[in-house]
Amino acid sequence: MMLSGNRIIPDEEVHISPLDRGYYFGDGIYEVFCIYDGALFEKEAHFQRLLRSASEVRIALPYPTERLEELLGELIAANGMDTGLVYVQITRCAAPRSHPFPLNAEAVVTGWCTEYQRPLDQLENGITAVLLEDIRWHRCDIKTLNLLPNVLLKQEAMDRGANDAIFHRGDTVTESSSSNVMMVKDGVLWTHPADNHILHGITRAVTLKLAGQLQIPVKEQFYTVDDLRAADEIFLTSTGAELTPVVKLDGQPVGAGVPGPIIRRLQQAYVARLPGSSSR
Ligand code: PMP
């Protein structure tokens, strides 16, 4: 069952027009939620970000987020989902192809959920990454459908035998293909400021809050490729990947080549916040 407009309907009954602007312009936004124990995790932050993305690209949601929340609850129940992901997409409208916004545009809402298990192996053992130039536009803070640069860079990283790409814009490290990036140097946690060059990750915000509680000093400041290469620890944060250690960068071990002590403390604190954490 899927979300289409204002209803939850069987997958085969969802019809998207080839004239949907999301389809030919990427003119739309999206949001991804984790479901733990059948409930949306950090839902207020995700709804707020969805509203912000919509407002930044001037798309009017067809109904309030309270109604969307109700519909997502129905979607999760209809699919009997316990642990998984929910994807929601809102495009400007379907209309003949022409760049200006059509008059009386009616936004098109679709959504689905899928089984997703926590990536336990990667959380435990870490992943590898390569540094690649960030070729995206200057509004990476909006969660738009325009993910072609992210897709190309992720594929390039994988073609080079790594799990993911860490992007740098010139000398400055920004984020990853679908996660934020953090590094630890001399006990201090560094991450790119939440400006227009990164997505303002919800897991990033949670991690920074946890770091505060654990009295780990934080610098939301620019740092360079050389700083990253000299880091004691590196990790990625995202809804699905949670806090994933990076143990190799461009083929070289990060720190001791195994997940470090600060990420371990943060991972523990993060898991403790998940619904049903006592059984995880
Ligand atoms: N950066 C990018 C480019 C992303 O696609 C994502 C995943 N949505 C993130 C960061 C992490 O955001 P969040 O923690 O809200 O999932």
Residue 46 burial (10 A CB sphere; 0-12, 13-18, 19+): buried
The distance of Cα 120 from the centroid of its chain, to the nearest Å, equals: 18
Q: The pTM is what?
A: 0.97
Question: Which residues, 6+ apart, have CB-to-CB distance to 271 below 8 Å?
Answer: 242, 277, 280
Whole-angstrom Cα distance, residue 189 to residue 19?
Answer: 46
The verdict on domain 2-115 having CATH code 3.30.470.10 is yes
- Ligand 1 atom closest to the CA of 177, numbered from 1: 3
The pLDDT, as a whole number, for residue 275 is: 86
- ipTM entry: 0.99
CB 190 within 8 A of CB 223: yes
Best CATH choice for the domain 120-279 from the list 3.30.70.141, 3.40.718.10, 3.20.10.10, 1.10.3720.10:
3.20.10.10
Active centre residues (catalytic): 143
Query: Which tens digits make up the pLDDT trace of 193-219?
Result: 999 999 999 999 999 999 999 999 999
239 within ligand 1 shell (Cβ under 6 A): yes
Domain boundaries along the sequence of the chain: 2-115, 120-279
Q: From ligand 1's centre to the CA of 199, what distance in Å?
A: 6
Partners of 36 in beta bridges: 39
Q: From ligand 1's centre to the CA of 9, what distance in Å?
A: 28
142 within ligand 1 shell (Cβ under 6 A): no
The residue ranges of the chain whose pLDDT is under 70 are 277-280
The pLDDT, as a whole number, for residue 278 is: 61
The pLDDT, as a whole number, for residue 276 is: 77
The pLDDT, as a whole number, for residue 279 is: 63
Q: From ligand 1's centre to the CA of 96, what distance in Å?
A: 32
The pLDDT, as a whole number, for residue 175 is: 98
Query: Which tens digits make up the pLDDT trace of 213-266?
Result: 999 999 999 999 999 999 999 999 999 999 999 999 999 999 999 999 999 999
- Ligand 1 atom closest to the CA of 238, numbered from 1: 14
3-state secondary structure of 195: coil
